[in-house]
Amino acid sequence: MPQLDATDRRILEVLQRHGRITNAELAERIHLSPSACHRRVQRLEAEGYIAGYVALLDARRLGRPTTVFVEITLAGQADDTLDAFERAVARIPDVLECHLMAGTADYLLKVVAEDTEDFARIHRQHLARLPGVAKMQSSFALRRVVQTTAMPV
């Protein structure tokens, strides 16, 4: 892939924090003409540097203030076991993230819930039924200290 120059990096920095900015406003912030700015953004999208645009929702306002991190260890490491687990976990709407890990756990899940009772429901209806699970450990987040979606560029 081509290297990003300083202008590309400034575009990415601004768009990460202000995704709804108009092209004219973006061009002004990074000191480019609107047409040159638009071409660069289109290229960054086409090359996959910009994967998409989203609205970030407030979990607390949506009644999902509880974040739980769940470490899962599988009974085996065969490809079919991993594939079955990954397909099943992808269907759980309360799971925001699932990462294949190196270390003591095989997977780390980020789950949102209304409260501990709601997490118990999620655990009972979904997590406990995941295929191939040998061990599961849940940790409740007490307070979010840092959260960003902005990648360092």
CATH number at residue 22: 1.10.10.10
Is the CB of residue 68 less than 8 Å from the CB of residue 94?
A: no
Q: Please, is 51 exposed, middle or buried when counting C-beta atoms within 10 Å of its C-beta (0-12, 13-18, 19+)?
A: exposed
Does one domain contain both 76 and 129?
yes
pLDDT tens, per residue, the chain with 153 residues: 568 999 999 999 999 999 999 999 999 999 999 999 999 999 999 999 999 999 999 999 999 999 999 999 999 999 999 999 999 999 999 999 999 999 999 999 999 999 999 999 999 999 999 999 999 999 999 999 999 999 999
51 within domain boundaries: no
Flag whether 152 is in a domain. no
- Residue 17: the pLDDT is 95
Distance, CA of 148 to CA of 153 (rounded, Å)? 14
CATH number at 99 reads 3.30.70.920
Is residue 134 in some structural domain? Answer: yes
54 assigned to some structural domain: no
Structure tokens at 9: 């990096």
Structural domain including 76 reads: 66-140
Does residue 91 sit in the same domain as residue 134? yes
**Entry pTM:** 0.89
How many structural domains comprise the chain? 2
